[in-house]
Structure 1
Amino acid sequence: MTYLARAWAGRFGGQYMTAAEFGALKLGALDGLAGGYVALDDADMIAARRDEPLLLFYNMIAAKGGRVLLVAHTGPAGWRTGIADLRSRLNSMPVAEISQPDEAHVRARLRAAAAQRFMKLSPETINYLVPRIDLSYEAIETLMDRLSGEVSIAGKAPGLALARLVLEGLDEDREEDEGAG
């Protein structure tokens, strides 16, 4: 959901932050962000590790008229927090669950992501990619970023051969990451 959180922050001219970035902020920095739009990724990790700054930030946002989007793998009802006031506020927030895309959504997202990058993918290329790509928004965006870069280097349209090479490169990168971890 990182892609969607970044898109939301970008749409409103806001700030996207990870749990680690949020955890490193001092009180003055939190206050400076509170009047704007902030997307906090892995917010459940913030609540579990440092719940007091999250409560302070929530109160600052309410006072300054800002907006916050909390993104997590589970709903706030399942978050561990020792502060009853924070738990109450989290439980009163509207919650939306966004599932990973199915194949039809992947097809549509590939087309849209290509159009955003001023590219057009052939039906043959899309048919090749859909069953081979991870069913996640991040995987789609990563693939399209790399494909766009390769199109710029190669100076030609994003055909099936180039898409295949980019996808194989992503698979190799993932295997290296899994081997290193």
Structure 2
Amino acid sequence: MTGRDAKSRQLPFDLPAPPAMSRDDFLGAPGNAAALALIDAFPDWTARVVCLVGPPGAGKSHLAAVFAAKAGALTLKAGDLARAEVPAALATGALVVEDLEPGTFDEAALFHLLNLAREQHAFVLLTMRTSPALWPLATADLASRLRALPKLELAVADDALLAAVLVKLFADRQIVVDDAIVQFLLRRMERTVEGAQALVQAIDRAALAAQRPVTRALVAQVLREEMPGPDGSAPREDDEE
């Protein structure tokens, strides 16, 4: 195999670009304005424990990362919260607990956390997909405590936000795309930030493998491969738009 042949058959390493999670990288929109204002106002909060509620990809983890950086907070997944480790988790005076949902956490550990945070005047940010008012909890005191917490909801991303997210995700990978490609993607992609992240990663991988720029034809190819119809067929593409 010649050097040229070897080069043409190189496969790119699938090394996803780390998401940019700073405050400057967060894209504000009407659906997340209240939650963003709360994070920006830290430490001037009227309540020390707050819930961020919203669907996957709405920006809860990004805002939690911004809060953690500002507050020096530790971050735990809900399933990793253990009663014996609560004091250590609050050692910095601030904590993020992510992905709280019914059945994903130890109720006794969370109740202990809320009590100790109140005693120590610690800040706690809880992220979740659904409001705790809907959760079937076995611990009545915990259910009451969670219902009383302030809750800031993040809405599903709209077209304007998704367009900005796409531009940012491509820019994170040093790829410049024109508005026509962004609009082409918006009409066909999964309507979440997570969907945008997966799609941009797939487009970048395809462009590297083909050693081609990101064009509409390449994007259409990736969409056919990544978003098959319910019967396994490729989605229809209107190339004449």
TM-score (norm 2): 0.58
SS at structure 1 position matched to 2:190: coil
AA aligned to 2:126 is L
Give, as a single letter, the amino acid of the residue that structure 2 aligns with 1:69: L
Q: Letter of the 1:81 partner, please give it.
A: L
Query: How is 1:21-170 mapped onto 2 (pairs within 5 angstroms)?
Result: 21-22=79-80, 25-35=81-91, 36-41=94-99, 43-46=100-103, 50-62=106-118, 63=120, 65-72=122-129, 74-170=130-226
Whether contact under 8 Å (1:5, 1:39) holds in the other structure is no
Unpaired runs of at least 5, structure 1: 177-181
Q: Name the structure 1 match of 2:75.
A: 15
Structure number with higher relative contact order (C-alpha < 8 Å, ≥ 6 residues apart): 2
- Cα 1:135/1:54, change in 2 over 3 Å: same
What's the RMSD between the two structures over aligned residues?
3.0
- What's the CA shift string for 1:39-77, capped at 9, x where partnerless? 421x23247x642222122234443724222212x2122
Partners in 2 of 1:156 and 1:59 — Cα distance? Answer: 57
Using the TM superposition, give the Cα deviation of residue 89 of structure 1 relative to its aligned residue in structure 2, in angstroms: 1.9
Judged with a 3 Å threshold, the aligned counterparts in structure 2 of structure 1 residues 148 and 64 are, in CA distance, closer, same or farther, namely farther
SS in 2 for 1:121: coil
Q: Report the Cα distance in structure 1 between the residues aligned to 2:85 and 2:172, rounded to whole angstroms.
A: 33
How much does 1:106 deviate?
1.9
| Percent identity of equivalent pairs | 21
Distance across 2 between alignment mates of 1:161 and 1:30: 53
Say which structure is richer in helix.
1
> What TM-score do you get using the length of structure 1 for normalisation?
0.74
Letter in 2 for 1:164: A
Q: Which moved more, 1:155-164 or 1:87-96?
A: 155-164
Pair member with larger Rg: 2
Structure 2 vs 1, CA of residues 127 and 93 (structure 1 numbering), >3 Å: closer, same or farther? same
Q: Return 81-90 or 136-145, whichever deviates more.
A: 81-90
Deviations 1:56-113 (A, max 9, x none): 22234443724222212x2122222232321232122211222212223222221222
Is the contact made by 1:39 and 1:71 (CA closer than 8 Å) also made in structure 2? no
C-alpha distance in 2, partners of 1:70/1:153? Answer: 37
Structure 2 residues without counterparts, runs of 5 or longer = 1-54, 233-241
How far does residue 129 in structure 1 lie from its aligned partner after superposition? 0.8
